[in-house]
Amino acid sequence: MPLEPFRASASLTLGVELELQLVNPADFDLSASASDMLHLLGRSRFPGDVKPEITESMIEVATDVQRNHGELLAQLRDIRDTLVAAGDRINVAVCGGGTHPFQRWFNQRIFSKPRFQEISALYGYLAKQFTVFGQHVHVGCSSADEALFLLHALNRYLPHFIALSASSPYSQGTDTLFDSARLNSVFAFPLSGRAPFLLKWEDFERGYFAKMEKTGVVKSMKDFYWDIRPKPEFGTIELRVCDTPLTVERAAALACYLQALCRHLLTRAEPPPVEDDYLVYNYNRFQACRFGLDGVIVHPQSHDSLSLREDILATLASIGPHAAALGSQAALEEIHAVAAREGNHAGFLRRQHAEEGSVQGVVDAAVRCFRSTEGKKS
Protein backbone atom coordinates (compact mmCIF):
# COMPACT_ATOMS: atom_id res chain seq x y z
CA MET A 1 0.00 0.00 0.00
CA PRO A 2 1.27 3.54 -0.72
CA LEU A 3 2.86 5.52 2.06
CA GLU A 4 0.17 7.50 3.82
CA PRO A 5 0.35 11.30 3.71
CA PHE A 6 2.36 13.06 6.40
CA ARG A 7 -0.13 14.64 8.78
CA ALA A 8 1.60 17.74 10.10
CA SER A 9 1.32 18.19 13.86
CA ALA A 10 2.20 20.91 16.33
CA SER A 11 5.97 21.26 16.36
CA LEU A 12 7.77 19.88 19.44
CA THR A 13 4.76 18.18 20.98
CA LEU A 14 5.62 14.92 22.76
CA GLY A 15 4.38 11.39 23.16
CA VAL A 16 6.05 8.52 25.02
CA GLU A 17 5.67 4.76 24.61
CA LEU A 18 7.09 2.32 27.18
CA GLU A 19 7.45 -1.43 26.74
CA LEU A 20 7.19 -2.97 30.20
CA GLN A 21 8.00 -6.31 31.79
CA LEU A 22 5.37 -8.48 33.48
CA VAL A 23 7.02 -10.40 36.30
CA ASN A 24 6.04 -13.21 38.69
CA PRO A 25 6.69 -11.74 42.17
CA ALA A 26 7.38 -15.20 43.58
CA ASP A 27 10.47 -16.03 41.51
CA PHE A 28 10.95 -12.77 39.54
CA ASP A 29 10.89 -14.57 36.18
CA LEU A 30 8.77 -13.17 33.37
CA SER A 31 5.08 -13.99 33.58
CA ALA A 32 2.93 -14.67 30.50
CA SER A 33 0.18 -12.45 31.89
CA ALA A 34 -0.41 -9.85 29.18
CA SER A 35 -3.88 -11.16 28.30
CA ASP A 36 -4.99 -11.15 31.95
CA MET A 37 -3.54 -7.71 32.53
CA LEU A 38 -5.11 -6.21 29.41
CA HIS A 39 -8.49 -7.75 30.25
CA LEU A 40 -8.43 -6.22 33.72
CA LEU A 41 -7.24 -2.82 32.50
CA GLY A 42 -9.93 -2.80 29.82
CA ARG A 43 -12.68 -2.81 32.43
CA SER A 44 -12.03 0.78 33.49
CA ARG A 45 -10.60 4.01 32.13
CA PHE A 46 -6.89 3.88 31.43
CA PRO A 47 -4.93 7.17 31.59
CA GLY A 48 -3.42 6.81 28.12
CA ASP A 49 -3.20 3.76 25.88
CA VAL A 50 -2.21 0.17 26.64
CA LYS A 51 -1.81 -2.71 24.21
CA PRO A 52 -0.06 -6.05 23.81
CA GLU A 53 3.49 -6.50 22.56
CA ILE A 54 5.04 -9.36 20.64
CA THR A 55 5.21 -11.84 23.55
CA GLU A 56 2.83 -12.54 26.41
CA SER A 57 5.28 -11.31 29.06
CA MET A 58 5.20 -7.67 28.01
CA ILE A 59 2.82 -4.80 27.38
CA GLU A 60 3.18 -1.36 25.83
CA VAL A 61 1.75 1.83 27.30
CA ALA A 62 1.57 5.23 25.65
CA THR A 63 0.80 8.76 26.74
CA ASP A 64 -1.46 11.25 25.03
CA VAL A 65 0.10 14.13 23.11
CA GLN A 66 1.81 16.42 25.63
CA ARG A 67 3.56 19.77 25.41
CA ASN A 68 5.72 20.03 28.51
CA HIS A 69 7.54 18.08 31.19
CA GLY A 70 4.99 18.61 33.95
CA GLU A 71 2.05 17.30 31.93
CA LEU A 72 4.03 14.38 30.55
CA LEU A 73 5.33 13.33 33.97
CA ALA A 74 1.89 13.59 35.56
CA GLN A 75 0.38 11.25 32.98
CA LEU A 76 3.25 8.77 33.18
CA ARG A 77 2.79 8.63 36.95
CA ASP A 78 -0.94 8.01 36.51
CA ILE A 79 -0.15 5.20 34.08
CA ARG A 80 2.37 3.69 36.51
CA ASP A 81 -0.03 3.81 39.45
CA THR A 82 -2.81 2.22 37.40
CA LEU A 83 -0.52 -0.59 36.24
CA VAL A 84 0.80 -1.28 39.73
CA ALA A 85 -2.72 -1.43 41.17
CA ALA A 86 -3.91 -3.78 38.43
CA GLY A 87 -0.86 -5.99 38.79
CA ASP A 88 -1.40 -6.29 42.53
CA ARG A 89 -4.92 -7.60 41.89
CA ILE A 90 -3.66 -10.49 39.74
CA ASN A 91 -0.31 -11.02 41.50
CA VAL A 92 1.82 -9.66 38.67
CA ALA A 93 4.63 -7.15 39.12
CA VAL A 94 5.47 -4.53 36.50
CA CYS A 95 8.91 -3.06 35.88
CA GLY A 96 11.18 -1.30 33.45
CA GLY A 97 14.64 -2.29 32.26
CA GLY A 98 15.72 -2.98 28.68
CA THR A 99 16.11 -6.73 29.20
CA HIS A 100 14.94 -9.23 31.76
CA PRO A 101 18.16 -10.51 33.36
CA PHE A 102 17.55 -14.25 33.25
CA GLN A 103 14.46 -15.12 31.19
CA ARG A 104 14.96 -17.82 28.56
CA TRP A 105 13.87 -16.64 25.14
CA PHE A 106 12.63 -20.08 24.06
CA ASN A 107 10.07 -20.10 26.90
CA GLN A 108 8.32 -16.97 25.61
CA ARG A 109 4.92 -17.18 23.90
CA ILE A 110 4.01 -15.04 20.91
CA PHE A 111 0.90 -12.95 21.58
CA SER A 112 -2.11 -14.10 19.56
CA LYS A 113 -2.35 -11.09 17.25
CA PRO A 114 -2.09 -11.53 13.47
CA ARG A 115 0.81 -9.08 13.01
CA PHE A 116 2.84 -10.74 15.77
CA GLN A 117 2.15 -14.17 14.33
CA GLU A 118 3.32 -12.94 10.92
CA ILE A 119 6.53 -11.56 12.43
CA SER A 120 7.13 -14.87 14.20
CA ALA A 121 6.59 -16.83 10.99
CA LEU A 122 8.99 -14.56 9.09
CA TYR A 123 11.78 -14.11 11.63
CA GLY A 124 11.66 -17.42 13.51
CA TYR A 125 13.47 -17.45 16.84
CA LEU A 126 14.36 -13.75 16.50
CA ALA A 127 10.73 -12.93 17.32
CA LYS A 128 10.94 -14.57 20.75
CA GLN A 129 14.37 -13.05 21.32
CA PHE A 130 12.64 -9.72 20.74
CA THR A 131 11.33 -9.95 24.32
CA VAL A 132 13.22 -6.76 25.08
CA PHE A 133 11.88 -3.48 26.34
CA GLY A 134 12.36 0.00 24.91
CA GLN A 135 11.17 3.56 25.30
CA HIS A 136 10.04 5.30 22.14
CA VAL A 137 9.65 9.08 22.03
CA HIS A 138 7.57 10.92 19.44
CA VAL A 139 8.27 14.56 18.62
CA GLY A 140 5.72 16.54 16.62
CA CYS A 141 6.83 18.07 13.30
CA SER A 142 5.12 20.89 11.42
CA SER A 143 6.00 19.40 8.02
CA ALA A 144 7.32 16.24 6.46
CA ASP A 145 10.56 17.96 5.43
CA GLU A 146 11.04 19.16 9.02
CA ALA A 147 10.68 15.55 10.15
CA LEU A 148 13.41 14.36 7.79
CA PHE A 149 15.70 17.22 8.80
CA LEU A 150 15.36 16.42 12.50
CA LEU A 151 15.74 12.70 11.87
CA HIS A 152 19.16 13.24 10.29
CA ALA A 153 20.26 16.21 12.41
CA LEU A 154 19.82 14.00 15.48
CA ASN A 155 22.18 11.32 14.17
CA ARG A 156 25.19 12.66 16.06
CA TYR A 157 23.22 12.83 19.33
CA LEU A 158 21.81 9.32 19.19
CA PRO A 159 24.57 7.90 21.46
CA HIS A 160 23.45 10.32 24.19
CA PHE A 161 20.07 8.64 24.43
CA ILE A 162 21.50 5.13 24.33
CA ALA A 163 23.95 5.86 27.14
CA LEU A 164 21.56 7.86 29.32
CA SER A 165 18.75 5.31 29.09
CA ALA A 166 20.87 2.13 29.21
CA SER A 167 19.32 -0.38 31.59
CA SER A 168 20.05 -3.78 30.05
CA PRO A 169 23.43 -5.07 31.27
CA TYR A 170 22.16 -8.61 31.90
CA SER A 171 20.80 -11.17 29.47
CA GLN A 172 20.18 -14.91 29.75
CA GLY A 173 21.53 -14.90 33.30
CA THR A 174 24.90 -13.24 32.66
CA ASP A 175 26.48 -9.80 32.60
CA THR A 176 26.90 -9.01 28.91
CA LEU A 177 29.48 -6.26 29.64
CA PHE A 178 27.21 -3.98 27.59
CA ASP A 179 25.28 -1.16 29.25
CA SER A 180 22.57 -1.66 26.62
CA ALA A 181 22.43 -5.27 25.45
CA ARG A 182 18.84 -4.76 24.25
CA LEU A 183 19.88 -3.04 21.05
CA ASN A 184 21.86 -6.09 19.96
CA SER A 185 18.53 -7.91 19.63
CA VAL A 186 17.15 -5.07 17.51
CA PHE A 187 20.20 -5.00 15.22
CA ALA A 188 19.56 -8.62 14.24
CA PHE A 189 16.57 -7.56 12.14
CA PRO A 190 17.39 -6.85 8.48
CA LEU A 191 15.45 -3.57 8.34
CA SER A 192 17.04 -2.08 11.45
CA GLY A 193 19.74 0.60 11.53
CA ARG A 194 19.31 4.05 10.10
CA ALA A 195 17.06 5.71 7.54
CA PRO A 196 18.35 6.57 4.05
CA PHE A 197 19.79 10.06 3.77
CA LEU A 198 16.97 11.99 2.12
CA LEU A 199 15.85 15.45 3.20
CA LYS A 200 12.80 15.95 0.96
CA TRP A 201 9.62 13.99 1.66
CA GLU A 202 8.86 13.66 -2.05
CA ASP A 203 12.21 11.92 -2.53
CA PHE A 204 11.58 9.68 0.45
CA GLU A 205 8.04 8.79 -0.59
CA ARG A 206 8.52 8.31 -4.33
CA GLY A 207 12.21 7.65 -4.62
CA TYR A 208 12.68 5.28 -1.68
CA PHE A 209 9.51 3.96 -0.08
CA ALA A 210 7.73 3.27 -3.37
CA LYS A 211 10.73 1.28 -4.61
CA MET A 212 10.95 -0.68 -1.36
CA GLU A 213 7.25 -1.44 -1.53
CA LYS A 214 7.62 -2.75 -5.09
CA THR A 215 10.22 -5.22 -3.89
CA GLY A 216 7.60 -6.75 -1.57
CA VAL A 217 9.94 -6.38 1.41
CA VAL A 218 7.83 -3.72 3.16
CA LYS A 219 4.17 -2.82 3.35
CA SER A 220 4.25 0.14 5.74
CA MET A 221 6.57 2.21 7.93
CA LYS A 222 6.05 -0.36 10.71
CA ASP A 223 8.28 -2.75 8.78
CA PHE A 224 11.31 -0.50 9.32
CA TYR A 225 13.07 -0.94 12.68
CA TRP A 226 15.21 2.15 12.24
CA ASP A 227 16.76 3.95 15.21
CA ILE A 228 14.69 7.00 14.27
CA ARG A 229 11.84 6.80 11.81
CA PRO A 230 9.15 9.18 10.56
CA LYS A 231 5.57 8.38 11.53
CA PRO A 232 3.44 10.10 8.89
CA GLU A 233 0.13 9.07 10.45
CA PHE A 234 1.06 10.96 13.63
CA GLY A 235 3.08 13.76 12.07
CA THR A 236 6.12 12.88 14.19
CA ILE A 237 9.58 11.43 14.26
CA GLU A 238 9.99 8.45 16.59
CA LEU A 239 13.24 7.92 18.51
CA ARG A 240 13.55 4.19 19.22
CA VAL A 241 17.01 3.61 20.74
CA CYS A 242 16.24 4.09 24.44
CA ASP A 243 16.01 1.19 26.87
CA THR A 244 12.92 1.42 29.05
CA PRO A 245 14.16 3.18 32.20
CA LEU A 246 13.45 1.85 35.68
CA THR A 247 11.35 4.90 36.58
CA VAL A 248 8.78 7.02 34.77
CA GLU A 249 10.66 10.07 36.02
CA ARG A 250 13.69 9.08 33.96
CA ALA A 251 11.45 8.36 30.96
CA ALA A 252 9.96 11.86 31.13
CA ALA A 253 13.40 13.45 31.51
CA LEU A 254 14.75 11.65 28.43
CA ALA A 255 11.76 12.73 26.36
CA CYS A 256 12.15 16.36 27.35
CA TYR A 257 15.90 16.28 26.68
CA LEU A 258 15.00 15.22 23.15
CA GLN A 259 12.37 17.96 22.89
CA ALA A 260 14.83 20.69 23.94
CA LEU A 261 17.49 19.31 21.61
CA CYS A 262 15.05 19.37 18.68
CA ARG A 263 14.13 22.97 19.46
CA HIS A 264 17.83 23.83 19.35
CA LEU A 265 18.36 21.99 16.06
CA LEU A 266 15.42 23.78 14.44
CA THR A 267 17.25 27.09 14.87
CA ARG A 268 19.64 25.71 12.20
CA ALA A 269 22.58 27.01 14.25
CA GLU A 270 24.53 23.79 13.65
CA PRO A 271 25.99 22.70 10.30
CA PRO A 272 23.33 20.84 8.31
CA PRO A 273 23.44 17.03 8.26
CA VAL A 274 25.22 15.34 5.37
CA GLU A 275 25.52 11.73 4.23
CA ASP A 276 29.10 11.45 5.49
CA ASP A 277 27.89 12.02 9.06
CA TYR A 278 27.00 8.33 8.98
CA LEU A 279 30.59 7.18 8.45
CA VAL A 280 31.01 7.01 12.24
CA TYR A 281 27.39 6.23 13.08
CA ASN A 282 27.69 2.52 13.81
CA TYR A 283 30.94 3.00 15.74
CA ASN A 284 29.42 5.70 17.95
CA ARG A 285 26.33 3.62 18.53
CA PHE A 286 28.48 0.67 19.59
CA GLN A 287 30.46 2.83 22.02
CA ALA A 288 27.25 3.97 23.71
CA CYS A 289 25.80 0.44 23.89
CA ARG A 290 28.99 -1.15 25.17
CA PHE A 291 30.39 1.48 27.53
CA GLY A 292 27.43 3.74 28.27
CA LEU A 293 28.45 7.13 29.60
CA ASP A 294 32.10 6.06 29.60
CA GLY A 295 32.07 5.64 25.82
CA VAL A 296 34.23 7.69 23.46
CA ILE A 297 32.58 8.83 20.25
CA VAL A 298 33.83 10.51 17.08
CA HIS A 299 32.27 13.80 16.04
CA PRO A 300 30.86 13.12 12.55
CA GLN A 301 32.10 16.39 11.04
CA SER A 302 35.22 17.43 12.97
CA HIS A 303 36.31 13.80 13.55
CA ASP A 304 37.41 14.76 17.08
CA SER A 305 37.22 12.05 19.73
CA LEU A 306 34.76 13.05 22.46
CA SER A 307 33.98 11.69 25.88
CA LEU A 308 30.31 10.79 25.65
CA ARG A 309 29.74 12.00 29.20
CA GLU A 310 31.41 15.36 28.52
CA ASP A 311 29.57 15.75 25.22
CA ILE A 312 26.25 15.33 27.01
CA LEU A 313 27.21 17.90 29.64
CA ALA A 314 28.30 20.37 26.96
CA THR A 315 25.05 19.83 25.06
CA LEU A 316 23.01 20.42 28.21
CA ALA A 317 24.75 23.75 28.70
CA SER A 318 24.05 24.84 25.13
CA ILE A 319 20.35 23.92 25.10
CA GLY A 320 19.55 25.38 28.52
CA PRO A 321 17.61 28.37 27.09
CA HIS A 322 15.47 26.00 25.04
CA ALA A 323 14.66 23.93 28.11
CA ALA A 324 13.66 27.13 29.92
CA ALA A 325 11.37 28.14 27.06
CA LEU A 326 9.74 24.68 27.11
CA GLY A 327 9.42 24.52 30.90
CA SER A 328 11.66 21.46 31.14
CA GLN A 329 14.46 22.68 33.39
CA ALA A 330 13.69 19.95 35.95
CA ALA A 331 14.04 17.30 33.25
CA LEU A 332 17.44 18.56 32.18
CA GLU A 333 18.55 18.78 35.81
CA GLU A 334 17.90 15.04 36.09
CA ILE A 335 19.80 14.35 32.86
CA HIS A 336 22.70 16.43 34.21
CA ALA A 337 22.71 14.43 37.44
CA VAL A 338 22.82 11.16 35.49
CA ALA A 339 25.75 12.28 33.34
CA ALA A 340 27.70 14.11 36.03
CA ARG A 341 27.18 12.03 39.17
CA GLU A 342 24.65 9.25 39.40
CA GLY A 343 25.25 7.21 36.28
CA ASN A 344 22.68 5.32 34.25
CA HIS A 345 20.38 2.51 35.36
CA ALA A 346 22.74 -0.14 33.99
CA GLY A 347 25.21 0.87 36.69
CA PHE A 348 22.48 0.83 39.31
CA LEU A 349 21.47 -2.72 38.35
CA ARG A 350 25.07 -3.91 38.50
CA ARG A 351 25.39 -2.45 42.00
CA GLN A 352 22.22 -4.26 42.99
CA HIS A 353 23.66 -7.52 41.71
CA ALA A 354 26.84 -6.96 43.73
CA GLU A 355 24.78 -6.31 46.86
CA GLU A 356 22.14 -9.03 46.39
CA GLY A 357 24.34 -11.64 44.75
CA SER A 358 21.71 -12.81 42.27
CA VAL A 359 19.92 -11.81 39.10
CA GLN A 360 16.63 -12.36 40.94
CA GLY A 361 17.69 -9.54 43.25
CA VAL A 362 18.25 -7.36 40.19
CA VAL A 363 14.63 -7.85 39.09
CA ASP A 364 13.39 -7.25 42.63
CA ALA A 365 15.22 -3.91 42.64
CA ALA A 366 13.73 -2.99 39.24
CA VAL A 367 10.22 -3.77 40.49
CA ARG A 368 10.74 -1.63 43.58
CA CYS A 369 12.07 1.25 41.47
CA PHE A 370 9.05 1.19 39.17
CA ARG A 371 6.60 1.12 42.08
CA SER A 372 8.31 3.99 43.88
CA THR A 373 6.35 7.24 44.16
CA GLU A 374 9.57 9.05 45.05
CA GLY A 375 11.10 8.82 41.56
CA LYS A 376 14.26 6.93 42.50
CA LYS A 377 16.94 7.97 40.04
CA SER A 378 19.93 5.75 40.62
For residue range 260-290, list pLDDT tens digits in order.
Answer: 999 999 999 999 999 999 999 999 999 999 9
pLDDT at 322: 98
Please, what's the largest Cα pairwise distance for the chain?
Answer: 56
> Structural domain of residue 24, as residue ranges?
14-371
Contact 361, 355 (CB under 8 A): yes
Number of domains in the chain: 1
In a domain, 154, yes or no: yes
pLDDT at 377: 46
Encode pLDDT of 324-336 as tens digits: 999 999 999 999 9
In a domain, 206, yes or no: yes
* 105 — pLDDT class (breaks 50, 70, 90): confident
* 378 — pLDDT class (breaks 50, 70, 90): very low
pLDDT at 376: 47
Share of residues in the chain with pLDDT > 70 (%): 98
In a domain, 4, yes or no: no
Contact 21, 97 (CB under 8 A): yes
Q: What is the distance between the alpha carbons of residues 92 and 88, in angstroms, rounded to a whole number?
A: 6
* 374 — pLDDT class (breaks 50, 70, 90): low
Encode pLDDT of 285-317 as tens digits: 999 999 999 999 999 999 999 999 999 999 999
* CATH number of 353's domain: 3.30.590.20
The model carries a pTM of 0.96
In a domain, 1, yes or no: no
Encode pLDDT of 38-95 as tens digits: 999 999 999 999 999 999 999 999 999 999 999 999 999 999 999 999 999 999 999 9
Residue 134 — φ and ψ, nearest 5°?
Answer: -125, 160
Q: Residue 157: is its pLDDT beyond 70?
A: yes
Beta strands in the chain (DSSP E): 14-23, 49-52, 58-62, 93-95, 134-140, 170-171, 174-175, 192-193, 225-226, 228-231, 236-243, 296-298, 305-307
In a domain, 377, yes or no: no
Q: Residue 1: is its pLDDT beyond 90?
A: no
In a domain, 8, yes or no: no
Q: Residue 101: is its pLDDT beyond 90?
A: yes
Which candidate, 239, 233, 207, places its Cα nearest to that of 221?
233
List Cβ neighbours of 108 (8 Å cut-off, separation of 6 or more).
Answer: 30, 32, 55, 56, 57, 128, 131
Query: Range with the lowest mean pLDDT among 120-129, 267-276, 349-358?
Result: 120-129
Average pLDDT, the chain: 96
In a domain, 151, yes or no: yes
pLDDT at 372: 86
In a domain, 378, yes or no: no
